[in-house]
Amino acid sequence: MAKGFYISKNMGLAGLLMGAVAGVVIIALAAVYDKEKTKNQNKPVDGVTTVSPTTSSTLSTPKNPWEYYRLPDSLSPVSYNITLWPRLVVNASTGLYIFTGQSDVVFRCEKETDLILIHCNKLNLTLLSGHRVRLTGLDGATAPNVISSWLQVKTEYLVIQLKGKLAAGKSYRLSTDFQGELADDLKGFYRSEYTEDGVKKVVATSQMQATFARKAFPCFDEPAMKAVFHVTLIHQRGTVALSNGRDVETVNTTIDGAEVTKTRFEPTKRMSTYLLAFIVSDFAHITGSIENNNVLVRIWARRKAIAEGHGYYALNVTGPMLQFYEGYYNASYPLSKSDQIALPDFSAGAMENWGLITYRETALLYDPASSSVGNKETVLTVVAHELAHMWFGNLVTLRWWNDLWLNEGFASYVEYLGADYAEPTWNIKELIILYEVHKVFAVDALASSHPLSRKEEEVNRPDEISEMFNTISYSKGAAVLRMLSDFLTEPVFARGLSSYLNEFAFNNTVYSDLWDHLQKAVLTTPGMSLPHTVHDIMNRWILQMGFPVVTIDTATGHITQKHFLLDPDSVVDRPSPYNYTWMVPIKWMKGGVEREQHWLLQETDRHVPMTTAGSEWVLANLNVSGYYRVNYDTDNWERLINQLTADHTVIPLINRAQIVDDAFNLARAKVINTTLALRTTRYLSQERDYIPWESAIRNLNYYILMFDRGQVYGMLQAYLKMQVSPLFDYFRTVTADWTRVPTGHNDQYNQINAISFACRMGVERCRVLTSVWFREWMLNPDHNPIHPNLKTTVYCNAIAAGGVEEWDFAWTMFKNATVATEAAKLRSALACTKVPWLLNRYLDYSLDPAKIRKQDCTSTISYIAHNVVGMPLAWDFIRARWSYIYTEYGGGSFSFSNLINGVTRRFSTEFELKQLKQFKEDNAGVGFGSGTLALEQAMEKTAANIKWVAENQEQVMNWFSNECT
């Protein structure tokens, strides 16, 4: 589905702490509009990300078919003729924005029945000769009379009871006329508003996934109910109408006295309702095409954005990526056109409607003048993800939402291949480790996690369906498919995939259909053998939650696996059909040479050749192609740490990041000592690559949060300052004293990390650098000398080092900002000041809608709370004003959980726990709305933090102080 909001990756640590808050804010949005992944968040060491408990339908066996959420199998749609007319001005009689429509659906009766159930939600149906519908028999069939029809609100059906029976094998046409609200609720057919050149403009657009097509017209709204759609849109003269197919006829006409244009589209291919799209706007576009192909490729956006050239990057990469996918899937692009459109205020992120993909602006538009490398990468990867769905998901669709993980996991894996093809110099495939694998390790290591795959009967209600759109589905899906493709090899994987897509084109599948085709590809590959079938191996990864930690004893050659749990005291009460053991492909090396892959098929293997002595180390899970963590005997850990210090480049890049991440997480789980984990960071003073640094910073972030108010912090800072200074100086040199942009894609990210981490750890040269740049800008506000990549961190550090003058300047720039990303960078940076009265004033501003937009209120408070000086101020602030905040911002707001998470992230003392309990008691009458669960979790996490600090503080302190002397 739609991609979630992305956190730009160019923020570095100071920003990263904030990014975390922003990330969480967005996750909550995501929970509602569904959506997917946020990059650079869910710090693995925090273990704070929880997966909402899955509620199963507790249907007490309803009596009537219309009380079930799933359609009966008596009818199947063949084609629809839909005409929709959205009004982009308020309707005088209802005071609402509305749309009207007509729909004819032709369906075939599969089993004799006297009942028609069709999805219909929030539509007012016009009576047609006394009934809500008109039923016509086709090809000589006679339609029975309608006895009664009603709307079953809970299950979202239009129910039609017939006098006689529909005959199996016959076809019928059901006609409806209806009126709906074109609300600004982002669901179904809805409206989006924006201002251009001082003029308010309204766009009619749509978001059907997962269950909102029924809000646009009555339809059989399940993914397996594929049909052909003939769409006509009626719209105001001078506007453009778009839908899934190419427009084939546009006429100007007058309807009920209104001068309108009528646009008819070519019939779609056989497709699911959730992939439909209808858009009316006055947008402009640019055009391209796929080479040697008739496919029309267009990028649409606000006129101004197109005029300023912001669509070109997406256009430039779309053609090559479509070509890449055609080759990869061995199937040509199934449609005659590919439109991609950027919508202002599109909360979903992006949505893979077939032939008309919708995006939020930041995911499609790229402005070379003001965007950072992270902004550009977001466009690249989101486009790659959505285009991957054109085949996987759209051409071949999973039968039901319980298999959503395969659709989304697949697109989340393949997007890296598509992106890599379009930007081959970026090494983007490596980043999957940070963005997907580490991210989901954090969630999947909790006892509250859940398996990738659910049973079809467990997912029924719309809220159960939207629950499927979570990190597990996207990122774990991507991680296990990457592992699968690695042990099959990419060519075999692609061959199985292509045979699957060709066999099931325009139809529906279940996940085992893909296993069948991959297994077939294995059997037809000469010399290829697996210890078990694809089914046997993969079902262990998708039918049980979590993942193993593989422990290798290099003295004995015994290896064992165990379900990895971040909290060793947590209780797993979810049974597993495989007793929490997996079939684990282990790629490994000894003495710097890759050895033959080993399959760990049971709990323990004895006398595996992974033995070593002397200084020769064993390293397993090369490139982290497997979805598991690795632990070693102490001697081998020592060897690896010694190798890192002696010459880290001998160890593959991704594994350097992994050694750090495994060690910190194993320490959190009390499998190894905290000091052993800390020692994996010693070599960082020589590390120049982004991925290991980013992995370390994310892990150290927990230590920073736990200790930045206490005596440990001085030592911690001194140590990390020592470690990061060489990186800072390295970038000063390679950028010729900060005058050039590093050439490598990941080097650009690492430059951001170098500056933000160095400034944070008190490197004086860094403070001077950022303050001088900012000053230059203050002296000449029309000419910002700060490179877009570095803005977030430079603004933040300059404001932190400065006073009221810097703050007021940034505030003015924020108020004047015309580009959304620029305003966002300033808004987060304003929270970086260390001056208490400025922070308090900013807190007051956050509740003044004239100063901070209402939607940004809670994230602004969270930004302030992430500043160590701001945290107690923000906590006092929300305690004092809770009932006001709750009434003003609580209604339907999803960001309360993030506010509570943000403010309590550092909590690690008994006193804070007491305050939390008091807060809960004092405001029991007011309530906590969407923050209720977060408050409970905050108390739990605070208790866990208290424990962790008590157990680790002393040794951490001693370790840092030894390192610094």
Q: Considering beta carbons, is residue 511 or 730 the nearer one to Zn ion?
A: 511
Shorter beta-carbon distance to ligand NAG: residue 316 or 502:
316
**Binding to ligand NAG in span 617-676, by CB under 6 A:** none
Tokens 């992106």 locate to: 419
386 is catalytic: yes
176 vs 98: CA distance, rounded Å = 17
Nearer to Zn ion, 211 or 612 (CB): 211
Could you tell me the CA-to-CA distances from 271 to 146, 187, 226, 280, 395 in Å, in that order?
Answer: 29, 20, 5, 22, 7
Q: Phi and psi dihedrals of 608, rounded to 5? A: -80, 150
Per partner kind, with CB cut-offs from 5 to 8 A, the member of Zn ion, ligand NAG, none near residue 258 is none
Q: Quick one: what does residue 250 bind among ligand NAG, Zn ion, none, with the CB cut-off 5 to 8 Å set by partner type?
A: ligand NAG
235: tokens are 């719209």
Minimum distance, C-beta of residue 158 to Zn ion, in the bound complex (Å): 30
Buried b (16+ CB within 10 A) or exposed e, 498-521: bbbbeebeeebbbbebbbbbbbeb
**Near ligand NAG by CB under 6 A: residue from 179, 576, 725, 735:** 179
Which x/- pattern, by CB under 6 A, does the window 315-354 give for ligand NAG?
-x--------------------------------------
Please state whether the peptide bond connecting residue 210 to the residue before it is cis, i.e. omega within 30 degrees of 0. yes
Give pairs for 196-202: CB < 8 Å, separation 24+: 196/302, 196/303, 196/304, 197/304, 201/281, 201/282, 202/88, 202/89, 202/97
User: What share of residues in the chain are helix, strand, coil (percent, to 5)?
Assistant: 45, 20, 35
Question: Considering all CA atoms of the chain, what is the largest pairwise distance in Å, rounded to the nearest integer?
Answer: 94
List the one residue from 81, 502, 673, 686 that touches ligand NAG (CB under 6 A): 81
| Contact of residue 238 among ligand NAG, Zn ion, none (CB under 5-8 Å per partner type) | ligand NAG
List, in order, residues 6 or more apart from 207 with CB less than 8 Å away: 2, 33, 186, 187, 188, 190, 346, 348, 351, 358
Beta carbons within 8 Å of 685's beta carbon, 6+ residues apart: 722, 723, 725, 726, 727
Is residue 96 near ligand NAG by the rule CB under 6 A? yes
- Count CB atoms within 10 A of the CB of residue 294: 9
Is 385 part of any known ligand binding site?
yes
Residue 889: CB atoms within 10 Å: 21
Q: Which of 813, 867, 817 is nearest to 840 (CA)?
A: 867
Q: Is the separation of the CB atoms in 716 and 960 below 8 Å?
A: yes
At a CB cut-off of 8 Å and minimum separation 6, what does 866 contact? Answer: 17, 18, 20, 21, 831, 902, 905
Residue-wise DSSP of 850-881: TTS-GGGHHHHHHHHHHSTTHHHHHHHHHHHH
The nearest distance, CB 238 to ligand NAG, in angstroms, is 5
Indicate which of ligand NAG, Zn ion, none lies near residue 411 (CB less than 5 to 8 Å, by partner kind): Zn ion
Do 320 and 346 meet the contact criterion of CB atoms below 8 Å apart? Answer: no
Residue 94 is a binding residue for ligand NAG (CB under 6 A): yes
Residue 313's binding partner, choosing from ligand NAG, Zn ion, none, with beta-carbon cut-off 5 to 8 A by kind?
ligand NAG
Residue nearest to Zn ion (CB): 411
CA dist 478 and 484 (Å) reads 10
Rounded to the nearest whole angstrom, what is the least distance from the CB of residue 252 to ligand NAG in the complex?
A: 4
Task: Report the site for Zn ion in 353-412 (rule: CB under 5 A).
Answer: 408, 411
Contact status: 230 vs ligand NAG (CB under 6 A): yes
Within residues 406-445, the interface with Zn ion by CB under 5 A covers: 408, 411
Task: Name the active-site residue from 386, 436, 464, 963.
Answer: 386
SS3 state at 243: strand
Looking at beta carbons only, is 369 or 850 nearer to ligand NAG? 369
Pick from 154, 237, 532, 574 the residue near ligand NAG by CB under 6 A.
237
Residues 500-519 that bind Zn ion (CB under 5 A): none
- Among residues 102, 124, 915, 932, which is the contact residue for ligand NAG, using CB under 6 A? 124
Using rule CB under 6 A, residue 312 touches ligand NAG: yes
Q: Which of 106, 823, 869, 944 binds ligand NAG (CB under 6 A)?
A: 106
Binding ligand NAG (rule: CB under 6 A), the pick from 172, 212, 313, 547 is 313
- The answer to whether 408 is annotated as binding is yes
Helix ranges (DSSP H) in 390-476: 404-422, 432, 439-444, 462-467, 471
CA distance 700 to 950: 17
Give me the least distance between CB of 388 and Zn ion, in Å please.
8
Picking from 850, 793, 551, the residue whose alpha carbon sits closest to that of residue 11 is: 793
For the bound state, the minimum distance from the C-beta of residue 211 to ligand NAG, rounded and expressed in Å, comes to 19
Q: Which of these ranges, 178-186, 462-470, 596-604, 730-738, lies near ligand NAG under the rule CB under 6 A?
A: 178-186
CB of 743 to ligand NAG, least distance (A): 16
Q: Is 368 an interacting residue with respect to ligand NAG (CB under 6 A)?
A: yes
Q: Which does 430 bind (CB under 5 to 8 A by kind): ligand NAG, Zn ion, none?
A: none
Contacts of residue 518, defined as CB under 8 A and 6 or more positions apart, other chains included, come to: 484, 488, 492, 493, 496, 497, 500, 534
- Tell me, what DSSP letter sits at residue 931? G
Query: DSSP letter string over 111-175?
Result: S-EEEEEEE--SEEEPPBTTBS-EEEE-TTPPPPPEEEEEEETTTTEEEEEEEEEEPTT-EEEEE
Residue whose CB is less far from ligand NAG, 366 or 693: 366
Examine residue 173 and tell whether it contacts ligand NAG (CB under 6 A): yes
Tokens of 450: 């859940």
For ligand NAG (CB under 6 A), the number of binding residues is 23
- Rounded to 5 degrees, what are φ and ψ at 573? -105, 10
Q: Which is nearer to ligand NAG, 125 or 659 (CB)?
A: 125
Question: What is the x/- site pattern for Zn ion, positions 856-875, by CB under 5 A?
Answer: --------------------
Pick the closer one to Zn ion by CB: 476 or 787.
476
Residue 868 binds: one of Zn ion, ligand NAG, none (C-beta under 5 to 8 A by kind)? none
Residues touching Zn ion: how many (CB under 5 A)? 3
Return the residues of window 239-268 that contact ligand NAG according to CB under 6 A. Answer: 250-252, 261
Ramachandran quadrant class, 122 (left: phi over 0; alpha: psi -120 to 50; beta: rest): left
Q: Which stretch binds ligand NAG (CB under 6 A): 64-72, 312-320, 794-802, 921-929?
A: 312-320
Q: How far is the CB of 138 from ligand NAG (least distance, A)?
A: 8
Q: How far is the CB of 363 from ligand NAG (least distance, A)?
A: 15
As measured in angstroms, the least distance from the Cβ of 799 to ligand NAG is 31
Tokens of 560: 């064992």
Least CB distance to Zn ion at residue 411 (A) = 4
DSSP H helical ranges for 167-243: none
Nearer CB in complex with ligand NAG: 237/854: 237
Q: Min. distance of Cβ 153 from ligand NAG in angstroms?
A: 12
Q: Which amino acid is at 728?
A: F
Figure out which of the listed residues 15, 180, 418, 788 binds ligand NAG, where binding follows CB under 6 A: 180
Q: Which is nearer to ligand NAG, 124 or 512 (CB)?
A: 124
Q: Is 558 left (phi over 0), alpha (psi -120 to 50) or beta?
A: beta
- Interacting partner of 444 out of ligand NAG, Zn ion, none (Cβ under 5 to 8 A depending on kind): none
Residues 734-773 that bind ligand NAG (CB under 6 A): none
Instruction: Say if residues 725 and 738 touch (Cβ distance below 8 Å).
Output: no
User: In the complex, which residues of this chain contact Zn ion (CB under 5 A)?
Assistant: 1, 408, 411
- Which residues participate in the annotated binding site? 385, 389, 408
The catalytic residues are 386
User: In the complex, which residues of this chain contact ligand NAG (CB under 6 A)?
Assistant: 81, 94, 96, 98, 104, 106, 124, 173, 179-181, 230, 237-238, 250-252, 261, 312-313, 316, 366, 368
- Which residues participate in the annotated binding site for Zn(2+)? 385, 389, 408
